[in-house]
Chains A and B, each alone.
Chain A
Amino acid sequence: EVQLVESGGGLVQPGGSLKLSCAASGFTFSNYVIHWIRQAPTKGLEWVASISPSGGSTYSRDSVKGRFTISRDNTKSTLYVQMDSLRSEDTATYYCSTHSSYGFDYWGQGVMVTVSS
């Protein structure tokens, strides 16, 4: 059974940093593009960043470029996102998701990040 479990969320002050993790199991992690997607409270979905199977290529939306760094450790089947210079508008539930022909296929349960003083 495919499982994605996010962790590392919490309350952080504006300008602060946080590192989220997404532990994967039930599939060959190193074969898949993986994404971070976020959802602000009561709002819609927003793609944040993606990483290739090897980790050699990464993509992110403009609003997080230079602040968020996506990475992966295929030996640990774990995805990360290092979030620096956090802003109030980064407050959201963050999901990791696998990529397949279905699009964003399997999703984790999400982890909440709150940026507030």
Chain B
Amino acid sequence: EIVLTQSPTTITASPGEKVTITCRASSSINYVYWYQQKPGASPKPWIYDTSKLASGVPNRFSGSGSGTSYSLTINTMETEDAATYYCQQWSSTPWTFGGGTQLELK
């Protein structure tokens, strides 16, 4: 099973600040996918194929990486970005998620 480790587990950012979340895989994967989840809501697809933004995702978000190291970056933090973000891999079953990074507003 491919284990995805996200860091940090929690991050607090002020509006306008740059934020980076990292996702490391226990084995090389082809792509990473990111989901956003807000309290009491279902997750939403956010970034797919490592760097492509899902429909409606603001372009202040970006994704990058390869092999075992991936990241999600918010260029300038906005209030609405406060949420938990999960990375996920499709390279081998079982499909696995990272443990999540809770992004809080300062």
Contacts and interface: CB of A to CB of B under 8 A. Distances in A.
Q: Does B bind A? A: yes
Interface of A: 44-47, 50, 59, 61-62, 95, 101-105, 107-110
Given A47-B94, A59-B93, A102 B99 contact: no
B94 A103 contact: no
Contacts of A102: 33, 45, 48, 54-55
| Chain A contact surface mostly | strand
12 contacts: A44-B98, A45-B35, A47-B94, A47-B96, A50-B95, A102-B48, A102-B54, A102-B55, A104-B88, A107-B43, A108-B42, A109-B42
A102 B35 CA distance: 10
B97 A103 contact: no
A47 B95 contact: yes
Contacts of A47: 94-97
Interface of B: 33, 35, 37, 42-45, 48-49, 54-55, 86, 88, 90, 93-100
Contacts of B86: 44-45
Given A44-B86, A45-B86, A104 B94 contact: no
B45 A104 contact: yes
A44 B99 contact: yes
B3 to A, nearest CB: 12
Contacts of A62: 94
B45 A45 contact: no
B45 A105 contact: yes
Contacts of B42: 95, 107-110
Nearest to A59: B93
Contacts of A59: 93
A47 B90 CA distance: 11
Given A59-B93, A62-B94, A103 B100 contact: no
A44 B55 CA distance: 23
Nearest to B84: A44
B97 A45 contact: yes
Contacts of A109: 42
B24 to A, nearest CB: 15
